Structure formats: structure tokens, C-alpha cells
Amino acid sequence: MLSPMETLASLTARYARPGQITWIGLRPARLAGMKAVAEADLAGDGLTGDHARPGKRALTLIQAEHLPVIAALAGLERVAPDTLRRNLVVAGLNLGAFRGKSLMIGPALVEITGPCAPCSRMEAALGPGGYTAMRGHGGWCARVLVPGRIAIGDSVHPAAPES
């Protein structure tokens, strides 16, 4: 039972369990197809071999739990991660709770900078209504704070608060 003195800050600092990387994808060029990989180097400007936007959009992440939601809203049986063109699929951790906060992804440290809105290509990729199906479920953008090699199965969890 929660204490009556529980604060919003203490509630939002809790999570049920760490998340996990379930898929990694690289976009070799702007309009190129995605390439699924088992591991990748996360450098300061994004994943090595990915056509990323350095800075606030160096890395894109999407919630694994949102894939079936997007599929349902688009009238599809399922949606493959490469269709949505995000770099990482993360399961088990609500990424939306970490906007403006830092996450450890394996040995790397990133800051979730804001939502990753769907692009108009989703209409072609998912069919009519695909763009709208992704609204609110398009994932998150992140800035790389500390580079590192990441792999499928790596833990994703909040960074330890600075003392």
C-alpha cells in the first residue's frame, strides 16, 4: 500500500522491471530498406552504419508493445519492426515515461528527447490510414550521451540518478 505522503516524483521514479532490446535496425541511406542486425556500435551521432540525424534524433526507439496496436489500428494482422523504420524495439519498459530523462541501453547512455512522429511513408508502408494508426505510437527519439556497443537482449533501464 502506498504511503499518504507519496509524491508524484517518487511514483514516476519507479518502474516494474528493466526493458530489453528485441530488435536493432539500420537505415543505410535515406530511402533504403532497413537492415536488421544482432548488435551495433552506438556512437555519438547514432548507430554506426545508420543514416541518422545527429543530435536529438540520433537514435529512434519504439515500444514492442505498440507493434500490435499499430497493426490493429491499420487493419493488419501484424507489423514487422523494419516497416516502421525505428532503430530499436524495446520491450518491457514504458519509454514514454522517460521523456527528458536518461536511459542505459546496454553499456550506452541516451537521453529520450521527444516523440518520433510518423512520416508520410507510413501510409504506403501500412496502407490507407497507416499514418494515423501510428500517431501516438510512433516511438521516441534520443540523443547519445555515452557511446557503446549494444546487442539484442541488452537491458534497458533508467540511468542511476547523479548524487
Pull the grid cell for residue 143.
Answer: 540523443
Would residue 16 count as lying in a domain? Answer: no
Rg (CA), the chain: 16
The pLDDT tens digits of the residues spanning 125-141 come to 999 999 999 999 999 99
Report d(CA 135, CA 118) in Å as an integer: 7
Q: State the residue for C-alpha cell 528493466.
A: 18
Distances (CA, A) of 65 to 71, 108, 124, 137, 151: 11, 23, 22, 10, 19
The pLDDT tens digits of the residues spanning 70-81 come to 999 999 999 999
Is the backbone of residue 75 left (phi > 0), alpha (psi -120 to 50) or beta?
A: left
Would residue 137 count as lying in a domain? Answer: yes
Amino acid at 33: G
- The structure's pTM equals 0.91
Would residue 128 count as lying in a domain? Answer: yes
Would residue 45 count as lying in a domain? Answer: yes
Which pLDDT value is given to residue 1?
Answer: 56
CATH number at residue 38: 2.40.33.20
Domain, as residue range, for 82: 29-152
Report d(CA 38, CA 80) in Å as an integer: 16
Which pLDDT value is given to residue 8?
Answer: 77
Would residue 52 count as lying in a domain? Answer: yes
Amino acid at 133: A
Which pLDDT value is given to residue 163?
Answer: 41
The pLDDT tens digits of the residues spanning 75-122 come to 999 999 999 999 999 999 999 999 999 999 999 999 999 999 988 889
The pLDDT tens digits of the residues spanning 26-59 come to 999 888 899 999 999 999 999 999 997 889 999 9
Would residue 58 count as lying in a domain? Answer: yes
Count of structural domains, the chain = 1
Which pLDDT value is given to residue 155?
Answer: 97
31-39 long-range contacts, CB within 8 A, separation 24+: 33/82, 34/81, 34/82, 34/85, 36/81, 36/82, 38/151, 38/152, 39/149, 39/150, 39/151, 39/152
Would residue 3 count as lying in a domain? Answer: no
Which pLDDT value is given to residue 16?
Answer: 76
Would residue 145 count as lying in a domain? Answer: yes
